[in-house]
């Protein structure tokens, strides 16, 4: 068999398929040492292609990888090897008529599929992951999203081992076979691309509920899990019902099948997958209850359940024409789930979390060697493009459209999009066109957000003319070059802003050529490289509050001084910008400390930061979650991202110094609020709800500061919280704080007790690994190596890899970037090992090494050497090859 080399695929080469598959009939015979897959494809020529291809029937090129072909026939005539061409990735046949039926049988090996793509086993159950190109590892097919087909699926397996047999759509028949086997047939009435196919077989229990849709249809809801997890499904079920209701209310979208199923699996490369009617989830995104999952985990479950559910419209009913359009469904769906979470919890806090995450991680990606547009124009391995750019920046692009159109017009646009394209596979251009048609706006220039990579810089300057009472803001935008894109055209940047007077009141806003003022908050559209807006009737020089709510994913700069930032922290009417002012103040103060450290000077903290945080801490009227957010200093990763050259040790030393100074200066108010909140926690049972999240978040950040004092009463409080709390949020914080403390004995005791108590709960053990992997105390690498030997660790399980290796390389920056290069060598070894059995996970773990340009010359050399060693290590998957070679280019 011929081996085909991985090659670059270009968007500009897109062609519609030569053939279509009207019906797909699949039969799976599941055995312990192999699985047989029989596929019957009812096909016809694509009429759209006849003009381009000519009358003669072109060959039919089916995708297929790692399949053992047992037989193939065309219209019931068995084909001999001479009748087809077989390579390691394609099966090519010659159809004899415009309409025909292809039957094939293949043998596959889910039991030894460690890549977790296609059909594989997780623990004792069979499950699938087909997006993006996993279906070709199941059977020969046109594995591309613009080929949509009606599927029927029959699966059979041993009754005792696999009592539950599931696939997409509705169960239409089932029965027993001799030999202790049984079967079930599922039919999905909706046409779908193969990437939305799913199958599950296992010994699963389910929690069942129901939802009545807005038109009065009754939908059965089921969450399937391994029996020991049946008590951890309620939160996901509640989240699902909330999401279904929200999508009806906010988008007018109703669910379309009679049943909606979620299955939790322990071995999963990503978070979850929106297969039609049968979502398959990483168990970390389903299972949650007070004793085992943190508040953050509860919110993640709520968000991911909603995300996958929302895909039923934004992704499934309307899907992508090709994988370059991935953000069509992912950017839109992340925007939808973010708005859902904002409505369910605190809107401002959700925005703060998302922006901090975007600026730390997506901005870094967009400034690195893998930078690509929201709609990429080429790739080698599509799995590498499930990125922060496609997802999170894609969601920001949708948010900007929402901001520019307003909620009501945006809804008209989404209605038009769903109505116009229901049942189709479409492009980002089609989406934007619907928004243009609904609004009358021309979004031609706006579309640069889809095609230009890189994070724009927006430098703002002001000038005030007291005599004329005018105030002008000048915006200068630019965008650094990214791979393959040297010069950038100006973006459309929506800047939401207000102007504050000396008392912090919003001034009425009237631009020079306007008739009348329009309130104190508005959105300016910056469209040129340099552009000035002049406001009139401004009686005193105002303080601008810019980019409110982070209205565009840009790097904004305005020459605020520290007193102005303190003023904004207290007075800005926009909650997000109050937080942002605090972050900017912290950044200025921390950068000053970093400079002092680098010059070998004594560190001195600007006391204004202490004063500002004291005010926040003593204000009992403020939302406690906001207080917690404002007390959180910018992370080391964020400080790295905004540095020209990141000095790992200086960043760590400066930030730790600031934390200690704050802890000691603010001990009294921190202790007061800690005790008050802990007392409330003691008196209430756990509730997964915004007010409670807020209380615990302030309690926990207070504890982490207080422990820096090393006072005995704080240690006692920490141990009390650890022992007496009723939930993982308090317990894990107490553990993390101990792990980072000098109290070696208490630390060891707590770690051992925790592991003993939770040894049978893999998701909780993930937390236990992460807390230790992220500990910045010296000797981090040795600790991680030792933990890899722990019986609960397993390199084959992606959650474990992320919990230990990912947390070490991504969060423990001082240890990972140890100047001796040991962290880099370790990560490269792991990547080489992972490459051998799970390319997707290998490629993702690589990310920290791709950031080599951020560091000093000596670290750069060490990091590049490891990338080169990976490149030379032998047979590389296309996943790892693409990331390594682009990083070295």
The residues annotated as belonging to the active site are 308
Give which of 431, 435, 487 is closest to 315, Cα–Cα.
431
> In a 10 Å sphere around its CB, with 0-12 CB exposed, 13-18 middle and 19+ buried, how is residue 486 labelled?
exposed
**Choice between 131 and 146, CB closer to ligand ARG:** 131
Q: State the binding partner of 287 from Zn ion, ligand ARG, none, CB within 5 to 8 A by kind.
A: none
Report CA 591 to chain centroid distance, whole Å: 29
Residues in the chain: 889
CB of 462 to ligand ARG, least distance (A): 42
Tokens of 838: 């799970």
Helix (H, G, I), strand (E, B) or coil at 365: helix
Residue selected from 63, 267, 330, 574 as contacting ligand ARG according to rule CB under 6 A: 330
Phi and psi at residue 592, in whole multiples of 5°?
Answer: -65, -45
Residue selected from 221, 262, 272, 630 as contacting ligand ARG according to rule CB under 6 A: 272
131 binds ligand ARG (CB under 6 A): yes
CB of 475 to ligand ARG, least distance (A): 34
274 binds ligand ARG (CB under 6 A): yes
Q: How many residues bind ligand ARG (CB under 6 A)?
A: 11
The number of beta carbons lying within 10 Å of the beta carbon of residue 230 is: 16
**Choice between 79 and 306, CB closer to Zn ion:** 306
Residues from 834 through 873 that contact Zn ion (CB under 5 A): none
Name the closest residue to ligand ARG (Cβ). 386
Q: Which stretch binds Zn ion (CB under 5 A): 297-305, 325-333, 446-454, 697-705?
A: 325-333
Q: Which stretch binds Zn ion (CB under 5 A): 204-212, 218-226, 328-336, 771-779?
A: 328-336
Q: Which stretch binds Zn ion (CB under 5 A): 87-95, 326-334, 493-501, 878-886?
A: 326-334
Residue selected from 141, 313, 386, 686 as contacting ligand ARG according to rule CB under 6 A: 386
**Choice between 333 and 741, CB closer to Zn ion:** 333
Q: Which stretch binds ligand ARG (CB under 6 A): 270-278, 401-409, 594-602, 718-726?
A: 270-278
CB of 450 to Zn ion, least distance (A): 17
Q: Which stretch binds Zn ion (CB under 5 A): 263-271, 330-338, 742-750, 795-803?
A: 330-338
**Choice between 383 and 818, CB closer to ligand ARG:** 383
41 binds ligand ARG (CB under 6 A): no
882 binds ligand ARG (CB under 6 A): no
Give, for 242, the enclosing helix (H) or strand (E): helix 234-251
Q: Which stretch binds ligand ARG (CB under 6 A): 250-258, 265-273, 661-669, 723-731?
A: 265-273
Q: CA–CA separation, 162 vs 200, rounded Å? A: 9
**Choice between 386 and 705, CB closer to ligand ARG:** 386
Phi and psi at residue 875, in whole multiples of 5°?
Answer: -70, 105
> Are the C-beta atoms of 397 and 24 separated by less than 8 Å?
no
Q: State the binding partner of 383 from Zn ion, ligand ARG, none, CB within 5 to 8 A by kind.
A: ligand ARG
381 binds ligand ARG (CB under 6 A): no
Report CA 161 to chain centroid distance, whole Å: 34
> Are the C-beta atoms of 879 and 381 separated by less than 8 Å?
yes
Q: State the binding partner of 132 from ligand ARG, Zn ion, none, CB within 5 to 8 A by kind.
A: ligand ARG
Give the HSE-up count for residue 29: Cα atoms under 13 Å, Cβ half-sphere. Answer: 9
Q: What is the dihedral of CA 638, 643, 645, 647, to 10 degrees?
A: -60
Q: Which stretch binds ligand ARG (CB under 6 A): 272-280, 568-576, 639-647, 731-739?
A: 272-280
The DSSP 8-state label assigned to residue 864 in this structure reads H
> Are the C-beta atoms of 104 and 26 separated by less than 8 Å?
no
Q: Which stretch binds Zn ion (CB under 5 A): 212-220, 327-335, 708-716, 788-796?
A: 327-335
Beta strands in 123-274 (DSSP E): 125-129, 149-158, 164-167, 170-176, 181-192, 199-202, 205-212, 218-225, 259-265, 272-273
> Are the C-beta atoms of 470 and 535 separated by less than 8 Å?
yes
**Choice between 132 and 207, CB closer to ligand ARG:** 132
Residue selected from 63, 143, 267, 308 as contacting ligand ARG according to rule CB under 6 A: 308
Beta strands 60-63 and 68-74 are unpaired
322 binds ligand ARG (CB under 6 A): no
Q: State the binding partner of 272 from Zn ion, ligand ARG, none, CB within 5 to 8 A by kind.
A: ligand ARG
Helix (H, G, I), strand (E, B) or coil at 2: strand
CB of 328 to Zn ion, least distance (A): 11
CB of 324 to ligand ARG, least distance (A): 15
**Choice between 276 and 307, CB closer to ligand ARG:** 307
CB of 262 to ligand ARG, least distance (A): 12
Give which of 819, 817, 795 is closest to 808, Cα–Cα.
817
Q: CA–CA separation, 225 vs 166, rounded Å? A: 13
273 binds ligand ARG (CB under 6 A): yes
**Choice between 326 and 566, CB closer to ligand ARG:** 326
Q: CA–CA separation, 477 vs 498, rounded Å? A: 20
Query: Is-cis flag, bond preceding 235, omega within 30?
Result: no
Report CA 728 to chain centroid distance, whole Å: 23
CB of 332 to ligand ARG, least distance (A): 11
CB of 280 to ligand ARG, least distance (A): 10
Residues from 332 through 361 that contact Zn ion (CB under 5 A): 333
**Choice between 132 and 344, CB closer to ligand ARG:** 132
132 binds ligand ARG (CB under 6 A): yes
197 binds ligand ARG (CB under 6 A): no
**Choice between 104 and 333, CB closer to Zn ion:** 333
Q: CA–CA separation, 690 vs 79, rounded Å? A: 63
> Are the C-beta atoms of 262 and 224 separated by less than 8 Å?
yes
> Are the C-beta atoms of 470 and 536 separated by less than 8 Å?
yes
Q: Which residue has the tokens 């909706």?
A: 190
Category of 121 on φ-ψ map: left (φ > 0), alpha (ψ -120 to 50) or beta? beta
Give which of 878, 862, 857 is closest to 827, Cα–Cα.
862
> In a 10 Å sphere around its CB, with 0-12 CB exposed, 13-18 middle and 19+ buried, how is residue 130 labelled?
buried
**Choice between 131 and 636, CB closer to ligand ARG:** 131
Q: CA–CA separation, 169 vs 153, rounded Å? A: 9
- Binding residues for ligand ARG, rule: CB under 6 A, are 131-132, 270, 272-274, 307-308, 330, 383, 386
- Binding residues for Zn ion, rule: CB under 5 A, are 330, 333
């Amino acid at each position: 068999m011929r081996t085909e080399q991985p090659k670059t695929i270009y968007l500009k080469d897109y062609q519609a398929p030569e053939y279509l598959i009207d019906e797909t009939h699949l039969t799976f015979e599941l055995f312990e040492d192999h699985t047989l897959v029989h596929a019957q494809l009812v096909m016809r020529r694509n009429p759209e292609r006849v003009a381009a291809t000519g009358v003669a029937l072109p060959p039919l090129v089916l995708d297929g990888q790692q399949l053992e072909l047992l037989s193939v026939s065309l219209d019931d005539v068995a084909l001999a090897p001479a009748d087809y061409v077989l390579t390691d990735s394609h099966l090519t046949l010659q159809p004899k008529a415009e309409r025909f039926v292809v039957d094939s049988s293949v043998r596959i090996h889910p039991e030894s599929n460690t890549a977790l793509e296609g059909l594989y086993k997780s623990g004792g159950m069979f499950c699938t992951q087909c997006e993006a190109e996993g279906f070709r590892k199941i059977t020969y097919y046109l594995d591309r999203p613009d080929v949509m087909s009606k599927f029927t699926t029959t699966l059979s397996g041993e009754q005792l081992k696999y009592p539950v047999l599931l696939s997409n759509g509705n169960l239409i028949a089932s029965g027993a076979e001799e030999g202790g086997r049984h079967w079930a047939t599922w039919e999905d009435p909706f046409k779908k691309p193969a990437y939305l196919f799913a199958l599950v077989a296992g010994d699963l229990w389910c929690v069942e509920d129901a939802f009545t849709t807005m038109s009065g249809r009754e939908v059965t809801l089921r969450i399937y899990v391994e029996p020991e997890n049946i008590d951890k499904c309620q939160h996901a079920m509640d989240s699902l019902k909330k999401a279904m209701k929200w999508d009806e209310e906010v988008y007018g979208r109703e669910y379309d099948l009679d049943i909606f199923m979620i299955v939790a699996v322990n071995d999963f490369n990503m978070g979850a997958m929106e297969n039609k009617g049968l979502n398959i989830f990483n168990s970390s995104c389903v299972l949650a209850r007070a004793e085992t999952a943190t508040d953050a985990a509860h919110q993640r479950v709520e968000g991911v359940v909603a995300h996958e559910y929302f895909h039923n419209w934004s992704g499934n009913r309307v899907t992508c024409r090709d994988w370059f359009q991935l953000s069509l469904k992912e950017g839109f769906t992340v925007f939808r789930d973010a708005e859902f979470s904002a409505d369910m919890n605190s809107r401002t806090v959700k925005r703060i979390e998302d922006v901090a995450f975007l600026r730390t991680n997506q901005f870094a990606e967009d400034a690195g060697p893998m930078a690509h547009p929201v709609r990429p124009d080429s790739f080698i391995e599509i799995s590498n493009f499930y990125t922060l750019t496609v997802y999170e920046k894609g969601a920001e692009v949708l948010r900007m459209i929402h901001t520019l159109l307003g909620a009501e017009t945006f809804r008209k646009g989404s209605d038009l999009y769903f109505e116009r394209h229901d049942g189709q596979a479409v492009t980002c251009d089609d989406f934007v066109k619907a928004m243009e048609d609904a609004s009358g706006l021309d979004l031609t220039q706006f579309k640069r957000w889809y095609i230009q990579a890189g994070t724009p810089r927006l430098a703002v300057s002001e000038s005030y003319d007291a005599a004329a009472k005018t105030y002008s803001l000048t915006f200068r935008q630019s965008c650094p070059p990214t791979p393959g894109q040297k010069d950038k055209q100006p973006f459309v940047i929506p800047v939401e802003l207000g102007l504050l007077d000396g008392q912090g009141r919003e001034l009425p806003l009237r631009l020079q050529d306007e008739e009348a003022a329009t309130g104190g908050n508005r959105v300016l559209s910056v469209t040129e490289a340099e552009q000035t807006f002049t406001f009139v009737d401004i009686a005193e020089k105002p303080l601008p509050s810019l980019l409110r709510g982070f209205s565009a994913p840009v790097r904004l700069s305005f020459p605020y001084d520290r007193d102005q930032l303190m003023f904004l922290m207290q007075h800005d009417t926009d909650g997000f910008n109050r937080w942002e002012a605090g972050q900017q103040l912290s950044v200025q103060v921390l950068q000053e400390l970093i400079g002092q450290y680098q010059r070998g000077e004594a560190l001195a903290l600007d006391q204004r930061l202490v004063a500002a945080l004291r005010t926040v801490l003593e204000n009992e009227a403020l939302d406690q979650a906001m207080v917690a957010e404002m007390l959180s200093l910018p992370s080391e990763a964020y400080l790295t991202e905004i540095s020209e050259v990141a000095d790992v040790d200086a960043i760590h030393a400066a930030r730790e110094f600031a934390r200690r100074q704050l802890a000691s200066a603010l001990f009294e108010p921190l202790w007061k609020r800690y005790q008050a909140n802990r007392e409330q926690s003691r008196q209430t049972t756990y509730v997964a709800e915004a007010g409670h999240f807020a209380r615990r978040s302030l309690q926990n950040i207070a504890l982490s500061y207080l422990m820096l004092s090393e006072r005995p009463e704080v240690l006692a409080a920490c141990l009390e919280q650890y022992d007496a709390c009723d939930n993982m949020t308090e317990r894990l914080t107490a553990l993390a704080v101990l792990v980072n403390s000098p109290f070696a004995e208490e630390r060891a005791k707590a770690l051992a007790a925790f592991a003993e108590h939770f040894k049978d709960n893999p998701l909780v053990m993930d937390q236990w690994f992460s807390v230790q992997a992220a500990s910045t105390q010296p000797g981090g690498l040795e600790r991680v190596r030792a933990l890899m030997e722990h019986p609960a660790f397993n390199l084959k399980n992606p959650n474990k890899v992320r919990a230990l290796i990912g947390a070490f390389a991504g969060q423990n920056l001082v240890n990972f970037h140890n100047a001796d290069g040991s962290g880099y060598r370790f990560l490269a070894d792991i990547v080489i090992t992972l490459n051998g059995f799970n390319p997707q996970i290998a490629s993702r773990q690589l990310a920290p090494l791709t950031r080599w340009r951020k560091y000093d010359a000596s670290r750069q050399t060490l990091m590049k050497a490891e990338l080169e060693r990976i490149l030379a290590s032998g047979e590389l998957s296309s996943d790892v090859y693409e990331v390594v070679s682009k990083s070295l280019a």
